[in-house]
Amino acid sequence: MKDTYTITAFSEHHIGLLNRITIIFTRRQVNIETLTVSQSAIQGIHKFTIVVNETREKVEKVVKQIEKQVEVLKAFYHPDSEIVHQEIALYKVPTVELLQSNSLEQIIRKHNARILEVTPEYTVIEKTGHKIETQELFEQLSAYGVKQFTRSGRVAVTRLSQELLTNYLREIDEKETESSAIKT
């Protein structure tokens, strides 16, 4: 049965790695719903956050393939219940619609969105939330003539008390320390 999974992969920062990772999904015929790449909490390490709607078995195989990439330190996968996540959406609407009545302002307040920029021609609105929330606001704003709309990929952290990569690196360090102690 297909479910939504968030895959996180931690890597060194190398040119071409993103391409090699996306090819893994293509070869396994897994569609990427969203993809976000950023620096992680560890200096010099980047974090890929990839959302897929797929079976657990296929996700496990993809994660194993990702980990075979030389630059990838470790990859993990999580169902939605194990993570906290958000997306950001930007909406560009005609300013005249905002000025003609207070109904647009009420929609913005109802959705806990905020206005980022107002010009004589357009107003940019920002909404942070889950995809369903940002989509709902888009549908309501569509009646006012949305000129542009964009939504980011997922940004996520695990519900665990520590980052999994930190634990993984600590385990490797402990094994190396034990191995060095045995050799001496």
Would you list the DSSP string of 1-51? Answer: --EEEEEEEEEE--TTHHHHHHHHHHHTT--EEEEEEEE-SSTTEEEEEEE
Nearest to 158 by CA among 1, 8, 3: 8
Total of domains in the chain = 1
Q: What pLDDT does residue 6 have?
A: 97
Residue 88 has pLDDT above 90, yes or no: yes
Is 43 a domain residue?
yes
Q: Which domain holds residue 38?
A: 3-82
Mean pLDDT within 75-85 = 94
d(CA 16, CA 93): 37
Is 45 a domain residue?
yes
Q: Tens of pLDDT along 133-183?
A: 999 999 999 999 999 999 999 999 888 766 667 777 777 666 666 666 666
Mean pLDDT within 71-87 = 94
Is 166 a domain residue?
no
Inter-axis angle of helices 103-110 and 131-141, nearest 10: 180
pLDDT band (50, 70, 90) for residue 33 = very high
Nearest to 122 by CA among 140, 109, 104, 103: 104
Residues 6+ apart with CB under 8 A from 178: none
pLDDT band (50, 70, 90) for residue 42 = confident
H runs (alpha helix) in the chain: 17-27, 56-67, 95-100, 103-110, 131-141, 164-183
Q: Tens of pLDDT along 96-133?
A: 988 888 899 999 999 999 999 999 999 999 999 999 99
Q: Is 93:104 a contact under the CB 8 Å cutoff?
A: yes
Is 106 a domain residue?
no
Q: Tens of pLDDT along 8-26?
A: 999 988 899 999 999 999 9
d(CA 181, CA 177): 6
Is 75 a domain residue?
yes
Is 148 a domain residue?
no
Residues 6+ apart with CB under 8 A from 156: 6, 8, 49, 78, 83, 84, 85, 86
d(CA 48, CA 57): 20
Is 113 a domain residue?
no
| Cα 24 to Cα 7, 62, 141, 152, distances in angstroms | 13, 7, 37, 22
CATH number, position 25: 3.30.70.260
Is 121 a domain residue?
no
pLDDT band (50, 70, 90) for residue 40 = confident
Q: What pLDDT does residue 89 have?
A: 98
Residue 184 has pLDDT above 80, yes or no: no
Mean pLDDT within 92-98 = 93
